[in-house]
Amino acid sequence: MHAHGRLSIWFFIGLLLTLYGILVTGSGLYELWVPPAHPAVLANLHAGIWWGAVLLVIGLIYFIRFYPRKE
């Protein structure tokens, strides 16, 4: 998949998506427990939790798939 000593860019993209997913999900869960004073119109859909979970899953797929292994 990659030459000796090189890492795939998809490994780093997976790492970033995973980190963003953790942050967005954490923010969404915080808003669930501590509702804002002036919530958005569709706040009841909890978009932060859903999109954070999607980012987390996609990031983990890329991270695991392109993790550098010794062959």
Burial class (CB in 10 A: 0-12, 13-18, 19+), 8: middle
Question: Range of 38's domain?
Answer: 10-65
Query: Does 4 reside within a domain?
Result: no
* Rounded Cα–Cα distance for residues 30 and 37 (Å): 13
| CA dist., res. 44 & res. 26, Å (int) | 16
What is the chain's mean pLDDT, rounded?
92
For 27-40, the pLDDT digits (tens) are: 999 999 999 999 99
Q: Name the phi and psi angles at 9, rounded to 5.
A: -65, -30
Q: Is residue 33 part of a domain?
A: yes
* Residue 22 CB neighbours (<10 A): 14
Report the share of the chain in percent with pLDDT over 70: 92
Domains: count for the chain: 1
